Amino acid sequence: MNSSEEVKGTRSRRRRGTALAVVFALIAVVLGVRLADLQLFRSDAYVKYGEQQRIRTVKLTADRGQIFDRNGVELAVSVPQWTVWADPSQVDDPRKAAAALAPVLEMEEGHLFQLLSEPDQHAYLARTVPDKVSRAVADLSLKGVYLLEESARFNPAGSRLGRAVVGIVDVDQIGISGLEYQYDAVLGGTPGEMVLESSQDGRTIPTGARHIRPAQPGADLHLTIDRSLQFEAERALMRQIEEVEASSGSVIIMVPDTGEILAMASVGRNGEGDPVSLSENLAVTWGYEPGSVMKSVVLSGVVEEGLGAPHHVREVNHWLNLYDQEFTDHTEYGTALYTMEEILARSSNTGTVEWALVLGSTRLAAYMSRYGLGSLTGLGFKGESSGLVPNLLEWSGTDVASFALGQGMLATPLQVLMVYNTLANGGLRVPPTLVRSAVDADGREIQLERPEPVRAVSYNTASHMTDMLVTVVREGTGRNAQVDGYTVAGKTGTGQKVLTGGNYEGEDGTRLYTATFAGFLPAEDPQISIIVVIDEPVTNIYASQAAAPLFAELAKYSLQRLRIAPPVDFVTVAPKLGPAPTPQPTPALVPAATPQPTQSPAPAPAPQPTPEPTIAPEPAPTPEPTPVTTPTPVPEPTPEPATPPDPASPSQGVEPQGSGAPEQANGESPQVEDSQ
């Protein structure tokens, strides 16, 4: 090899060496830059990625607050249970794991395989399993399958007792109905979180678990419900529905002056046709046409406006035609003179319509509003209905008459009972409540909002109405609601139901009814109020037969349970009603002085609000006749009437007659308070 070739070889080796050096230098630079990027700029991200491979966060469910009745009896509590869950990314063989778990969890192997094959890091396999199942799962020692302690809701008093009121929760302990839903934020507490660290084989490292945020337990609810009264209300209602072959029914028992609900039962029929307690709270969700229990609204408005008094007399015909719509009473008696008290006691449809025309549409609408009809009660219950009272501008034809008889409008059982609670409270409408208090885990009471009471009528009017309602029970359509040793005030109501197609009568003549009795006792000092509503009774359609006896039964039980003694001044009074009236000529009509009530409810008179601007009496309604969609009124069977009252007797009083609203004796327009 000559020197020139050696020089060329040397140069070539140098070039290769230089090239390699450059390459290695570039690699070193790239690695250095990459290392610097990892160490200086992206270290946190890779640390987090590494933690994600071995650390997982599990949600900790807070202990849900318990629910107690008014006496501290448990109605809903949470008990510890185990939940089986998996991290599919750590399961080596999903099919093998599914085959092992299927018989233990009593689940389909295919469904388990699908859950274990998901890309998620948290898959629930079975929630709240029994202890023996959780132990069997633990014995399998499957990689990626874990047990988590959670809570399940349990009702010590029975799964169906008060279910419509208390409600239920879902598998995640979230309220989905009843008070469980309404007070979910109070009962549910605040969930926490826990971090778990796993080894390379996917097993949890016991020393690696640490709490990030502990769960905060929810508050306890103390209800107004009395468990014993609730049980008796449901039991008795089921029996009554079976006896009269009804489809469903509702019962509410309350303390009038506080608005506390002691029992609220809803009963229907299951698939086999047997009466059972329902999950739906019919007492607040069901709007129905209540019938004659609405007559108290009309007559209290008449008394409040000074347009009439309990002993004022009107000439009443058993038949009345208004805009081509017939209104009739239960029996044909021609024409008779009835006091307002007798009209209510006999549940006279035509007599009530006459007084409703005197009151007029504007004032009737105002009093329906003041009693809370057409509005939510303030209970705040999920699914509560406001009922239906058409806007005054939409009233026409026979609406005044129909609404006065509780037809053509809708009210819930709770709204109807609130009317009678208002009269028991001396005219003050006190909002209903199911919750006495909420107490957090530290024993501190949580303040719960509650609407303020509203005055509907004066104490004097409420006292007059109470007297008249006592007569209804003593001598009128409500006699089956009497309770020995106690004075009961109440009213019957038999309403017709709208059938498919919007008619009240089927093509075959079929009619369906609701039977209602609402009242309170002792009338001298009201301690409890009760409403019984029976839907679609068959064997006894009238409220006096289908609802009033159950009222009396529940009243007796409630009095014993609450230890309410008879009033010390209880006396038996002479009957006010007599035998059947015979047709009489129209007497000379003169106004009479308004008598004072014969008894006084216990509550002291509340201060009267400042009167609002007055509304003048209305003339007789003159709207265009409307299509006849109003049902034929359903009067209650009345007791054997008496000899008609002597119109000349000064104790009876006679009301000027006519379809328009008469002026007051002093010539002033009657005052109407704000109904809101």
Whether pLDDT at 377 is above 70: yes
What's the confidence (pLDDT) of residue 283?
98
Least confident of 137-141, 158-162, 343-347, 369-373: 158-162
Whether pLDDT at 555 is above 80: yes
Buried b (16+ CB within 10 A) or exposed e, 478-488: bbbbbbeebbb
Q: Are strands 67-68 and 220-223 parallel, antiparallel or unpaired?
A: parallel
How does DSSP assign 618-645, residue by residue? P----PPP--S-SPPP-PPP-PPP-SPP
- Of 61, 400, 462, the residue nearest 256 (C-alpha): 462
User: Mind listing the pLDDT tens digit for each residue in 170-223?
Assistant: 988 899 999 999 999 999 988 888 777 766 555 555 555 566 788 889 999 999
What's the confidence (pLDDT) of residue 651?
33
What's the confidence (pLDDT) of residue 48?
64
Average pLDDT of the residues in 72-97: 89
Kindly report the backbone phi and psi dihedral angles of residue 322, in degrees, each rounded to the nearest multiple of 5, phi listed first.
-135, 115
CA distances in angstroms from 384 to 283, 339, 389, 527, listed in the order given: 9, 38, 15, 26
Rounded-to-integer distance, Cα 490 and Cα 636, Å:
14
User: Mind listing the pLDDT tens digit for each residue in 394-414?
Assistant: 998 899 999 999 999 999 999
> Per the structure block, which two tokens stand in for 39?
């160490």
Rounded-to-integer distance, Cα 80 and Cα 672, Å:
58
What's the confidence (pLDDT) of residue 607?
39
- Of 111, 151, 113, the residue nearest 129 (C-alpha): 151
Question: Helix, strand or coil for residue 535?
Answer: strand
List, in sequence order, every beta strand (DSSP E) within 560-643.
Answer: none
**Phi-psi domain of 101 (left: phi exceeds 0; alpha: psi -120 through 50; beta: other):** alpha
Q: Percent of the chain having pLDDT more than 70?
A: 77
CATH class of 56-222: alpha beta
Same fold, 56-222 and 227-562: no
| pTM of structure | 0.76
> Per the structure block, which two tokens stand in for 474?
């003593």
CA dihedral 446, 450, 452, 458 (to 10 degrees): -120
Cα end-to-end span (Å), the chain: 120
- Of 647, 610, 634, 672, the residue nearest 544 (C-alpha): 634
Question: Helix, strand or coil for residue 234?
Answer: helix
What's the confidence (pLDDT) of residue 671?
28
Average pLDDT of the residues in 425-447: 95
**Phi-psi domain of 324 (left: phi exceeds 0; alpha: psi -120 through 50; beta: other):** left
**Spacing of C-alpha 55 from chain mean position:** 47
What's the confidence (pLDDT) of residue 617?
37
CA distances in angstroms from 315 to 311, 340, 645, listed in the order given: 13, 11, 11
> Per the structure block, which two tokens stand in for 657?
């007659």
Q: For residue 312, give the DSSP letter.
A: -
Q: For residue 382, give the DSSP letter.
A: T
Average pLDDT of the residues in 576-581: 55
Cβ contacts of 392 within 8 Å, gap of 6 or more = 361, 362, 365
**Phi-psi domain of 282 (left: phi exceeds 0; alpha: psi -120 through 50; beta: other):** alpha
Cβ contacts of 646 within 8 Å, gap of 6 or more = 652
Higher pLDDT, 212 or 445: 445
> Per the structure block, which two tokens stand in for 280?
């739906």
What's the confidence (pLDDT) of residue 507?
81
User: What is the residue-averaged pLDDT of the chain?
Assistant: 82
Question: Helix, strand or coil for residue 159?
Answer: coil
Whether pLDDT at 49 is above 70: no
> Per the structure block, which two tokens stand in for 43?
């270290």
What's the confidence (pLDDT) of residue 47?
62
Question: Helix, strand or coil for residue 11?
Answer: helix
Higher pLDDT, 334 or 351: 351
How does DSSP assign 339-362, residue by residue? EHHHHHHTT-HHHHHHHHHHH-HH
Rounded-to-integer distance, Cα 551 and Cα 530, Å:
7
Whether pLDDT at 504 is above 50: yes
User: Mind listing the pLDDT tens digit for each residue in 276-294?
Assistant: 999 999 999 999 999 999 9
Average pLDDT of the residues in 21-47: 73
Rounded-to-integer distance, Cα 586 and Cα 592, Å:
17
Question: Helix, strand or coil for residue 662?
Answer: coil
Is residue 281 within 8 Å of residue 266, measured between CB atoms? yes
What's the confidence (pLDDT) of residue 119?
73
CA dihedral 660, 662, 667, 672 (to 10 degrees): -80
Rounded-to-integer distance, Cα 70 and Cα 230, Å:
11
Q: For residue 31, give the DSSP letter.
A: H
Confidence tier at 371 by pLDDT (50, 70, 90): very high
Query: Given 3.40.710.10, 3.40.50.620, 3.60.15.10, 3.40.1450.10, which CATH number is that of 227-562?
Result: 3.40.710.10
Task: Match 């090239």 to its residue by tokens.
Answer: 19
Q: Percent of the chain having pLDDT more than 90?
A: 54
- Name the β-bridge partners of 213: 193
Whether pLDDT at 141 is above 80: yes
Confidence tier at 384 by pLDDT (50, 70, 90): very high
Least confident of 71-80, 234-243, 495-504: 495-504
Residue 58's CB is within 10 A of a number of other CB atoms, namely 15
Q: Domain map of the chain by residue range?
A: 56-222, 227-562
